[in-house]
């Protein structure tokens, strides 16, 4: 540092008048860096908490006043700092955590940039008291806007306490930009909760304006979740645990019926670090498919452990985005472990279903029993985003007297109506048969039309038009919401195109990626297809890509469609089930359910009616009245 200062002095004295570029003084550089790292009081909290974790504290207290605006204090019982380190800690790029670039690939600490304390000190009044466990006295340090005000020995408990006051006192724009105290407090609580869920083995306390907000004793993750979400005290959390050579996943997910309308309770951690990842979020949500309504979000708190060299945390100063080198494997793994946890859960209540009525009496052998979820999990040609029960039920309301009821509700209604209830039917196995019957109420005509019994008549549905509509809406949604998953090709396919198609395709690559394509340029007029959308069954990538480009061009010139609508239409056209494709009972059922969960189930994307209805009266007329 000293050398640097001398260098600057030397430069200042020796720079000829005509040169105008100079190095910024430290306190200015720090303040600029602070703009990135410290955006609001919650950023200070995050950095201080992470430092306490890195210092191996087992107990941490966070005390804030007025949403962190007036003061933020973090006390820890970690390793503390020597007198020299206490001073060094506040210099820019001063860190004890890495020393070479190579260390970036074996990080096991939260911090590594050595920027946080320097940034905080440049925009606030800070005071630190710190003491190492093996030293008699500690050090007190006061810094205001990067300027050291005081440094003296102090008698203090081992560990570190840092108080940050008057944040942004010298950056009025930032200060004015802050939200109300409750909102800033909320951001701080979010940061605190992330740490609390990342490190259940630590005791953590938080006070806001002298009120206790959290008092969390060291615990297991399951207990910690319940300590934080007190409204979930009596709910069952489903445990998830799996380990492979690439990654280990451990944590909890909520039962489907506990899903909420808000997204709040969803956390991923990797090696103890909180991160956000829409792609992996999709893996969890996909496991819940059909089990929760569309607008509900399941709870999940999942910890991943991965070799530090397989992730890159050096992406963003706030570090909530992480790059994984094995993203796809992790996706698959998360999805399947969550599915398994849910499968187990769903099985349990069904087994409890009036066990004493199971035919054969108490000592009958256990029924060869399949959980209900199995019948739903079966082959699903349509997508990882099948509409769930809630959405799919609507079509029945239009036609069916049992509108929107589950099979068991339906069954019970019928039992009430029946004079002679049949007890055998209450076993789990016959429950399934009943389900099957219901599905069989769809019939496929000439492999092209689906016929289904509805209230007062017959529904006739064009399978191709229906599926085209379903896919079209799903593809459109993928541009707005989550990207659709990709199935990676074991043998990527190289496709040669003419120059115009190549240009066109290059222009569409980003949007195609949202639909699940993994395509990139591969030399002159050549692309390589590394992956195709997961729900596309067709194996000929060349045909798929060319056919899609063809109908895209048609949509462009003839119909002048908007880019994304055109793309969604072209894709739907290429990948939908065609007239002539034989469908199984479940597929038909799903097709019908999904169609009526669509925004516009009446017409195919190009305006053709999708279904018609023949009423009982029409039939009678057709067959001549009796």
Chain residues that interact with ligand ADP, rule: CB under 6 A: 47, 51-52, 54-55, 76, 78-81, 89, 94-97, 111-118, 160
Label residues 424-457 b or e (16+ Cβ within 10 Å = b). Answer: ebbbbebbbeebeeebebbebeeebbbbbebbee
Closer of 46 and 469 to Mg ion (Cβ): 46
Measured CA to CA, the distance from residue 399 to residue 396 in angstroms comes to 5
Closer of 79 and 610 to ligand ADP (Cβ): 79
SS3 419: coil
Smallest separation (angstroms) from ligand ADP to the CB of 37: 9
Give every CB contact of residue 95 below 8 A, 6+ residues apart in sequence: 111, 112, 113, 114
Q: Are 515 and 531 spatial neighbours (Cβ–Cβ below 8 Å)?
A: no
Q: Which does 89 bind (CB under 5 to 8 A by kind): Mg ion, ligand ADP, none?
A: ligand ADP
Q: Which does 97 bind (CB under 5 to 8 A by kind): Mg ion, ligand ADP, none?
A: ligand ADP
Smallest separation (angstroms) from Mg ion to the CB of 192: 16
Binding to Mg ion by residue 266, rule CB under 5 A? no
Smallest separation (angstroms) from ligand ADP to the CB of 192: 16
Closer of 90 and 300 to Mg ion (Cβ): 90
Smallest separation (angstroms) from Mg ion to the CB of 115: 8
Taking CA atoms, 207 is separated from 183, 388, 445, in Å, by 16, 41, 68
SS3 179: coil
Neighbouring-strand partners of residue 201: none
Half-sphere exposure of 540 (CA within 13 A, CB side): 7
Smallest separation (angstroms) from ligand ADP to the CB of 88: 7
Q: Are 221 and 267 spatial neighbours (Cβ–Cβ below 8 Å)?
A: no
Task: Give the binding range for Mg ion (CB under 5 A) out of 51-59, 132-140, 380-388, 478-486.
Answer: 51-59
Label residues 521-533 b or e (16+ Cβ within 10 Å = b). Answer: eeeebebbbbbbb
- Strand order of the β-sheet with 237-243 is 237-243, 247-254, 300-306, 266-270, 273-275
Half-sphere exposure of 569 (CA within 13 A, CB side): 19
Which tokens belong to 389? 């029960």
Binding to Mg ion by residue 51, rule CB under 5 A? yes
# chain residues binding Mg ion, by CB under 5 A: 3
Closer of 110 and 334 to ligand ADP (Cβ): 110
Q: Are 533 and 487 spatial neighbours (Cβ–Cβ below 8 Å)?
A: yes
Neighbouring-strand partners of residue 241: 250
Smallest separation (angstroms) from ligand ADP to the CB of 83: 13
- Residue nearest to Mg ion according to CB distances in the complex: 111
Smallest separation (angstroms) from ligand ADP to the CB of 109: 7
Closer of 68 and 80 to ligand ADP (Cβ): 80
Closer of 114 and 547 to ligand ADP (Cβ): 114
Smallest separation (angstroms) from ligand ADP to the CB of 129: 11
Binding to Mg ion by residue 78, rule CB under 5 A? no
Q: Which does 555 bind (CB under 5 to 8 A by kind): ligand ADP, Mg ion, none?
A: none
Closer of 112 and 168 to Mg ion (Cβ): 112
Estimate the crossing angle of helix 585-596 against helix 428-439, to 10 degrees.
70
SS3 370: coil
Closer of 80 and 533 to ligand ADP (Cβ): 80
Measured CA to CA, the distance from residue 55 to residue 74 in angstroms comes to 13
Neighbouring-strand partners of residue 240: 251
Q: Which does 341 bind (CB under 5 to 8 A by kind): Mg ion, ligand ADP, none?
A: none
Closer of 162 and 442 to Mg ion (Cβ): 162
* Secondary structure string (H, E, C) spanning 577-613: CCCCCCCCHHHHHHHHHHHHCCCCCCECCCCCECEEE
Smallest separation (angstroms) from ligand ADP to the CB of 8: 22
Smallest separation (angstroms) from ligand ADP to the CB of 203: 16
Q: Which does 55 bind (CB under 5 to 8 A by kind): ligand ADP, Mg ion, none?
A: ligand ADP
**Binding string, residues 93-112; x marks residues near Mg ion by CB under 5 A:** ------------------x-
Binding to Mg ion by residue 116, rule CB under 5 A? yes
Closer of 3 and 99 to Mg ion (Cβ): 99
Binding to Mg ion by residue 271, rule CB under 5 A? no
Binding region for Mg ion (CB under 5 A)? 51, 111, 116
């Amino acid at each position: 540092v000293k050398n640097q200062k001398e260098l600057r002095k030397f430069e200042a004295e020796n720079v000829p008048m005509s040169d105008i570029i100079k190095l910024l003084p430290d306190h200015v550089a720090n303040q600029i860096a602070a703009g990135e790292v410290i955006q609001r009081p919650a950023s200070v909290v995050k950095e201080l908490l992470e430092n306490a974790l890195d210092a191996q504290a087992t107990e941490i207290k966070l005390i804030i006043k007025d949403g962190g605006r007036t003061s933020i204090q973090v006390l820890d019982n970690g390793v503390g700092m020597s007198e020299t380190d206490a001073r060094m800690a506040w210099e820019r790029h001063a860190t004890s955590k890495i020393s070479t670039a190579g260390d970036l690939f074996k990080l096991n600490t939260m911090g590594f940039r050595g920027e946080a304390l320097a940034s905080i000190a440049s925009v606030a009044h800070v005071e630190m008291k710190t003491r190492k466990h093996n030293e008699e006295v500690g050090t007190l340090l006061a810094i205001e806007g990067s300027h050291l005000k005081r440094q003296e020995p102090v008698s203090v408990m081992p560990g570190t306490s840092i108080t940050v006051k008057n944040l942004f006192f010298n950056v009025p724009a930032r200060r004015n930009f802050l939200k109300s105290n409750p909102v800033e407090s909320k951001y701080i609580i979010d940061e605190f909760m992330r740490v609390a869920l990342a490190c259940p083995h630590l005791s953590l306390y938080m006070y806001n304006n002298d009120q206790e907000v959290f008092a969390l004793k060291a615990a297991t993750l399951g207990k910690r979740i319940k300590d934080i979400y007190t409204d979930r005290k009596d709910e069952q959390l489903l445990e998830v645990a799996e380990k492979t050579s690439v990654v280990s996943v451990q944590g909890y997910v909520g039962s489907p019926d506990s899903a909420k309308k808000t997204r709040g309770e969803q956390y991923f951690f990797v090696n103890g670090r909180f991160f956000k990842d829409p792609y992996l979020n999709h893996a969890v949500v996909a496991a819940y498919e059909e089990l929760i309504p569309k607008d509900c979000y399941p709870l999940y708190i999942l910890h991943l452990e991965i070799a530090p060299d397989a992730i890159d945390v050096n992406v963003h100063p706030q570090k909530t985005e992480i790059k994984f080198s094995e993203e796809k494997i992790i996706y698959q793994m998360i999805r399947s472990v969550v599915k398994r946890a849910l499968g187990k859960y769903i099985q349990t209540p069904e087994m409890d279903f009036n066990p004493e009525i199971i035919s054969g009496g108490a000592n009958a052998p256990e029924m060869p029993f399949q959980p209900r979820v199995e019948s739903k999990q079966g082959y699903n040609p349509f997508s990882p985003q099948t509409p769930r029960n809630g959405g799919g039920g609507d079509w029945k309301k239009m036609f069916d007297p049992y509108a929107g009821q589950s099979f068991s509700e339906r069954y019970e209604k019928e039992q009430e109506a029946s004079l002679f209830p049949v007890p055998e039917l209450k076993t789990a196995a016959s429950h399934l048969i009943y389900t099957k019957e219901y599905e069989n109420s769809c019939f496929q005509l000439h492999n092209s039309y689906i016929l289904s019994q509805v209230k007062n008549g017959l529904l006739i549905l064009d399978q191709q038009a229906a599926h085209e509509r379903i896919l079209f809406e799903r593809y459109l949604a993928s541009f707005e919401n989550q990207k659709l998953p990709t199935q990676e090709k074991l043998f990527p396919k190289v496709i040669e195109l003419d120059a115009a198609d190549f240009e066109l395709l290059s222009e569409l690559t980003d949007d195609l990626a949202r639909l699940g394509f993994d395509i990139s340029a591969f030399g002159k007029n050549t692309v390589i297809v590394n992956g195709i959308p997961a729900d596309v069954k067709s194996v000929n990538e060349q045909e798929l890509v060319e056919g899609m480009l063809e109908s895209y061009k048609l949509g462009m010139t003839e119909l002048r469609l908007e880019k994304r609508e055109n793309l969604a239409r072209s894709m739907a056209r290429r990948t939908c089930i065609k007239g002539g494709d034989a469908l199984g009972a479940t597929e038909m059922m799903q097709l019908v359910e999904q169609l009526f969960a669509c925004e516009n189930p009446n017409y195919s994307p190009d305006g053709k009616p999708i279904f018609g209805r023949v009423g009982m009266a029409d039939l009678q007329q057709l067959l001549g009245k009796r």
